[in-house]
Every structure is written in structure tokens, then in C-alpha cells.
């Protein structure tokens, strides 16, 4: 006998937990399955969040952001003042952009706990395999559902089962923690240190999150080799174990709804192509997805409402960012020289627009 639920959420990252919380809050019987044994662990993220005001600058159609990003102060590791972009010649451009850093394992657990408090059931160590005859096959048995929400990250199995496209050309990124005192700025280093993307130092409390992303198109060797070179150059001899995963790089996939299922977060390509940021987007999509799924399970509305609502808020900025990333790939990332020239030509004003998903023209 298959377990029966209204809404089955696959994955307990920010997208899944937010969706589960809003669906449960709206009255649905929700189950969230997570293949890892502990929510959020190990951490595979730079752990940076822009301030609520900055999120609204990126997504002006977003409303009620303060209740969505109502993050308790004790979850904030460090407030940050801005971003320092470092070109291959070590020229620094400072962009004012307030934000903060978190511990993703604690942050993800907090979001999952909120979903559970609203009545969602969380099953860890449970891996979704496929959909067969309208039933989800998992490592812990069959689950029948009215709506399935795929929040299972960039290589989504739910996407494949629903017949939706998966992310094209995701790029690998790795991260680790180092001890030390760091300025309250996020550093992004461009050039051969991270071909086609960037390496970073993101300050926390007496620590920093350091990492590298690189595009397979421009790199030779493994992303971990690039991390090793970055760590050596910056003197990070002692760092925690390097962890990584893939980052969607081409913006949202064409369709995120199919039959009884929707995709939220990285599984839907809801990531800012120019910087790889995805936590706020996962939560924005999660809230919409959870509400729409609960309504659908109660016999009201259509899952198509999800497609319409998230695109109204995020599609234009995400497509602009994907376009800017393509421009960077063809003009800036060809060599260290072209990277330095392009950053210089863009200047502070246009780099500010670039990082905020806005058109760099005129």
C-alpha cells in the first residue's frame, strides 16, 4: 500500500522546505523527503545572502519580502557591506551591496523545522527514484500524491520523471571554510584563477567561506585543482574538507509545470547566471509553489498559476542575467586580458547593474 499525501516535496533545501512550509500552512497534508541523513549537511554553498532591500532591487515585482526572509538574528554569522570585484590585475571595484552570511546547515535546518512546525512530515535518508503510474518510488517505499514538488537541485530526478528539461551546462563549484579575520566584504576574483566564473572569499564570524566556480568551457583540469591553486595563492593552508556541486548557469528552464508536478529552485534553473546566487530565488519560488500546490490539492486553481506567478517576479531579471553571462562568455572570459579590459570598460556603474540582474545597456 502506498502512503497517501496531498503534496509530496522532494528535497529539503531552501526551495523544498519553503514550499513544504507554505503548503502545510495552507492546510495541505505535506511530506518532504530528503536523501541526505541530515538536512543541509554537508554544506555546499558560499552562504551569502543579499539584504531584503537588495533582493527587491533585483526583483521589483516581489512583494511581502519581509515575511519570506524573516531570518532570526542568531542565524546571521556576519553582516557584509558590499562586494569587491578583483580583476586579473588586482584592480578592485567596490560595489555597495549590504548582505549577510549564514551557516547553510543551520539555515536549512531552521527552514525545515519551520515546515515541520506547520505540520509537514520530514523523512530524511529517503531518496526519490522515479514516478511510476502516478506514484513516487522512493528508497523507503511508494508515495501517492495529488501534487509533487521537485526541489531536488540541479540534476533533478523529478524533472526527468515529469518529462521536463534539466539544466543545460551547469558548472561545478567547490567550497571550504577557513579560520581568520576578514573584512566585511565579499571578494570575487576573476581571471585564470577561476576561468569563466570566479573564486571568492565570503566573511563569516572569525572564519570565511572560500571557494571556486569555473566553467568547463574555459577551464583545463578539475575545479578542485583550481581550488588548490586559489588556496595556495591566498595562503589558506588549513581549510575544512572541500565540498561541491553543480550550479545552473543558463537561467530558468522553459517549462516548470507538467501534469501533477512543478519544479522549484535549482531544479528549475532559478539561479542568477552572473553570480550563481540561488537561495533567495529558491525561497521565492518555494513560497509560490507551496501555496499553489496546496490550492490545487484542495481542488482549487491550477498548477499553471505557479508558472505564471514565479515568472512575473523572476523571469525578466533571470533572463537578463543569463544574457549578460553569455556576453561575458563571448567577450570577457576569453583571456585574462579580455577580462580586465571588459571590467574596466564596464566600470562601476555597469558592474553594479550586472550584479543586480539589470541590463548593462545603455
Which residue in 23, 29, 35, 131 binds ligand FAD (CB under 6 A)? 35
Cα-to-chain-centroid distance, residue 312: 19
Question: Considering only residues 186-225, where is the footprint of ligand FAD by CB under 6 A?
Answer: 211
Strand duo 207-213 + 243-247: pairing: unpaired
Q: Which residues contact 281 (CB under 8 A, 6 or more apart)?
A: 265, 270, 271, 272, 314, 318
- Give the C-alpha separation, 126 to 32, whole Å: 9
* Closest listed residue to residue 61, CA positions, set 288, 311, 305, 277: 311
**Where does this chain touch ligand FAD (CB under 6 A) — which range of 12-20, 89-97, 228-236, 289-297?**
12-20
- Give the C-alpha separation, 289 to 163, whole Å: 18
Which residue in 173, 208, 346, 355 binds ligand FAD (CB under 6 A)? 173
- Considering the rule CB under 6 A, would residue 178 count as an interface residue with ligand FAD? no
Hey, how many other C-beta atoms are within 10 angstroms of the C-beta on 155? Answer: 15
Which residue in 5, 8, 45, 355 binds ligand FAD (CB under 6 A)? 45
Q: Which CB, 153 or 261, lies closer to ligand FAD? A: 153
Which residue in 15, 176, 214, 318 binds ligand FAD (CB under 6 A)? 15
**Where does this chain touch ligand FAD (CB under 6 A) — which range of 30-38, 55-63, 112-120, 335-343?**
30-38
CB of 33 to ligand FAD, least distance (A): 5
CB of 214 to ligand FAD, least distance (A): 11
- Considering the rule CB under 6 A, would residue 317 count as an interface residue with ligand FAD? no
Residue tagged 560595489 (cell numbers): 95
Q: Which residues contact 350 (CB under 8 A, 6 or more apart)?
A: 360
Which spans of this chain sit near ligand FAD (rule: CB under 6 A)?
A: 10-16, 33-36, 44-48, 127-128, 151-153, 157, 173-175, 211, 244-245, 247, 265-266, 271, 276-279, 282
Amino acid at each position: 500500500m502506498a502512503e497517501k499525501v496531498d503534496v509530496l516535496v522532494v528535497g529539503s533545501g531552501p526551495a523544498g522546505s519553503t514550499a513544504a512550509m507554505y503548503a502545510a500552512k495552507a492546510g495541505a497534508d505535506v511530506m518532504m523527503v530528503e536523501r541526505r541523513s541530515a538536512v543541509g549537511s554537508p554544506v555546499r554553498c558560499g552562504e551569502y545572502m543579499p539584504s531584503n532591500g537588495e533582493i527587491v532591487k533585483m526583483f521589483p515585482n516581489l512583494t511581502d519580502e519581509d515575511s519570506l526572509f524573516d531570518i532570526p538574528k542568531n542565524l546571521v554569522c556576519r553582516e557584509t557591506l558590499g562586494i569587491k570585484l578583483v580583476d586579473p590585475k588586482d584592480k578592485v571595484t567596490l560595489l555597495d551591496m549590504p548582505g549577510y552570511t549564514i551557516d547553510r546547515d543551520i539555515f536549512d535546518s531552521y527552514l525545515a523545522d519551520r515546515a515541520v512546525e506547520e505540520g509537514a512530515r520530514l523523512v530524511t535518508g529517503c531518496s526519490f527514484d522515479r514516478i511510476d503510474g502516478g506514484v513516487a518510488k522512493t528508497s523507503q517505499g511508494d508515495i501517492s500524491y495529488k501534487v509533487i514538488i521537485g526541489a531536488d537541485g540541479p540534476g533533478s530526478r523529478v524533472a526527468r520523471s515529469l518529462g521536463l528539461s534539466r539544466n543545460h551546462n551547469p558548472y561545478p563549484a567547490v567550497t571550504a571554510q577557513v579560520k581568520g579575520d576578514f573584512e566585511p566584504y565579499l571578494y570575487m576574483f576573476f581571471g585564470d584563477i577561476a576561468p569563466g566564473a570566479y573564486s571568492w572569499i565570503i566573511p563569516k564570524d572569525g572564519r570565511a567561506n572560500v571557494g571556486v566556480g569555473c566553467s568547463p568551457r574555459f577551464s583545463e583540469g578539475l575545479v578542485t585543482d583550481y581550488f588548490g591553486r586559489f588556496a595556495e595563492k591566498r595562503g589558506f593552508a588549513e581549510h575544512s574538507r572541500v565540498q561541491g556541486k553543480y550550479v545552473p548557469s543558463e537561467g530558468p528552464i522553459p517549462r516548470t509545470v507538467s501534469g501533477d508536478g512543478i519544479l522549484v529552485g535549482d531544479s528549475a534553473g532559478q539561479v542568477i547566471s552572473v553570480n550563481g546566487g540561488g537561495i533567495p530565488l529558491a525561497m521565492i519560488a518555494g513560497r509560490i509553489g507551496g501555496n499553489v500546490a496546496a490550492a490545487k490539492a484542495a481542488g482549487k486553481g491550477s498548477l499553471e498559476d505557479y508558472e505564471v506567478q514565479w515568472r512575473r517576479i523572476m523571469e525578466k531579471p533571470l533572463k537578463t542575467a543569463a544574457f549578460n553571462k553569455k556576453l561575458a562568455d563571448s567577450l570577457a572570459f576569453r583571456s585574462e586580458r579580455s577580462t580586465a579590459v571588459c571590467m574596466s570598460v564596464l566600470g562601476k556603474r555597469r558592474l553594479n547593474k550586472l550584479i543586480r540582474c539589470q541590463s548593462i545597456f545603455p
